[in-house]
Amino acid sequence: MNFVDLNFIEKCISQLSNYTEKDRPFTRLVFSEEFIKGRAWLTQKFKEFNLITKVDDAGNLFGIYKSSTNASKKILIGSHIDTVAYGGKYDGIAGVISGLSIIKFLSDNNIELPFDIEVYDYLGEELNDWNISCIGSRGICGTLSEVMLNSKNSRGIILKDEIDRIGGNTKNIDKLSNQFKNVLACFELHIEQGTTLENKGIDIGVVESMPNISRHKILIEGQAGHSGTTLMENRKDALVVASKLIIYINKLAKEISQKDNRHFVATVGKIEVFPNYVTIIPSNVEFIVDLRVVNETSRDLFLNQLNKEIIKLKKLENLKIKFQDLMISPYIEMNKTINESLKKSANDLNFTFMMMDSGAGHDTAHLAKVSKASIIFIPCQNGLSHCPEEFTDSINIKKGSEVILKSILDLKDNYNEII
């Protein structure tokens, strides 16, 4: 059965990609003018399918495909339309377009359901100027704290004021999570942002878990000096020591990941050097380790070994090194019942699939804490994401959407048994 309209998907991807900062495609930062225009486009799409359109108290935009029985139960489908700077056309967007394509099929075929379907653009999934990711999904799940809501960005703008500006009502945000007692399932489609599916020639990745994500700051205190007159044997170069640690972190992570049969990655992606001047030996270096792990034992091993290396270098180089935990987001499993349904759907549609862990955090990680939720991955070209070269063929979005749609139709057929 040919469920989903491929041309519709391609047209939607193309249209939404127009809402970008012109001088740095594809950039549609949360709360920006481009973001507001993108949401206006999505609102119009909701109206084309006669969906009831709302913005909830956390600033999430969603459209409701009403049940034939005016039932209280519902299914959530969605992802996000905001991007990182110089991002791509598919990260998050594919999941929102997937939801639209499912609604189009149901509407075109006059399919009546015993539950509502709500298609979501979760607000601000990408890390932003407030240093907070998944704003909307945190909000809907009751984990967007007062500290987060009152945080300020680099221009001094308070987060809750921006949420309210686009239609939210943060004074009532704590009541949003009450709705999950009526949610039967939450689905999300997302590009893999890796190469596993593409390399293996697999259509669908059914995600088992989201990793434990933690970030750790390392501060190295050396001694500044003249780059021309300070002899090599007399230097306390903080950058040289930082380089040794970064190389060690990469080597250790490779060793552990080769032995661990679950997801394990460590990255140093942000580094600051002081005074960062060509004729001065670096006196201080700060860098952040991004650690994403499924297996807690492997995480403990990595941090213990790193701590030993820090102690060794402090003695060897005779300078100060400080280690600071910044944040941790716990490991979360996807709902096994939902995953069984997704596996059955993929199998029924003759699509190849595999079980896999996610290496990235997604809105579904928050939804899974309060509801039955899961996410499926589709292949993306060369694993590229968060860059303009990000690409997946529309047929991949179609296949993933059909898997979710088939699971929804199975829920309809077995509704009396489920409730």
Residue for token digits 């139709």?
A: 409
**Confidence check: pLDDT of 69 > 90:** no
Q: What is the pLDDT of residues 321-370, one digit of tens each?
A: 999 999 988 899 999 999 999 999 999 999 999 999 999 889 999 999 99
Please tell me the predicted confidence (pLDDT) of residue 238. 98
Task: Give mean pLDDT, residues 249-259.
Answer: 97
Rg, the chain, Cα only: 23
Using pLDDT thresholds of 50, 70 and 90, give the confidence band for residue 68: confident
Burial of 49 per CB tally in 10 Å (0-12, 13-18, 19+): middle
CA dist 37 and 60 (Å) reads 15
Please tell me the predicted confidence (pLDDT) of residue 71. 83
Please tell me the predicted confidence (pLDDT) of residue 260. 87
Task: Give mean pLDDT, residues 144-165.
Answer: 97
CA dist 312 and 291 (Å) reads 22
Please tell me the predicted confidence (pLDDT) of residue 380. 97
Please tell me the predicted confidence (pLDDT) of residue 419. 64
Please tell me the predicted confidence (pLDDT) of residue 1. 53
The end-to-end CA distance of the chain, in Å, is 28
Residue 225 CB neighbour total at 10 angstroms: 17
Task: Give mean pLDDT, residues 385-407.
Answer: 98
Q: What is the pLDDT of residues 192-244, one digit of tens each?
A: 999 999 999 999 999 999 999 999 999 999 999 999 999 999 999 999 999 99
Task: Give mean pLDDT, residues 298-308.
Answer: 97
User: Angle, nearest 10°, between helix axes 6-16 and 394-413?
Assistant: 120
List the one residue out of 46, 14, 389, 401 whose CA is nearest residue 204: 401
Residue for token digits 């997801």?
A: 263
Task: Give mean pLDDT, residues 143-169.
Answer: 97
**Confidence check: pLDDT of 2 > 70:** no
The residues with which 79 forms a beta bridge, in sequence order, are 121
CA dist 296 and 56 (Å) reads 36
CA dist 386 and 368 (Å) reads 24
Cis before 49? omega within 30 = no
The residues with which 221 forms a beta bridge, in sequence order, are 284, 320
Using pLDDT thresholds of 50, 70 and 90, give the confidence band for residue 102: very high
**Confidence check: pLDDT of 418 > 80:** no
Instruction: Select the more confidently predicted residue: 128 or 68.
Output: 128
**Confidence check: pLDDT of 177 > 70:** yes
CATH topology of domain 212-329: Alpha-Beta Plaits (3.30.70)
- Residues of the chain above pLDDT 70, percent: 99
CA dist 287 and 271 (Å) reads 4
Q: How many residues does the chain have?
A: 419
Beta strands in 247-401 (DSSP E): 264-274, 284-293, 320-329, 332-333, 353-357, 373-378
Q: Where are the domains of the chain?
A: 6-210+331-418, 212-329
List the one residue out of 351, 391, 395 whose CA is nearest residue 4: 395
DSSP string, 5-20: -HHHHHHHHHHHTTSS
* Mean per-residue pLDDT over the chain, rounded: 96
User: Are the beta carbons of 99 and 120 closer than 8 angstroms?
Assistant: yes
CATH class of 6-210+331-418: alpha beta
Asked if the domains at 6-210+331-418 and 212-329 fall in one CATH topology, the answer is: no
On the CB side of 193, CA atoms within 13 Å amount to 20
Residue 238, Cα to own-chain centre: how many angstroms?
Answer: 34
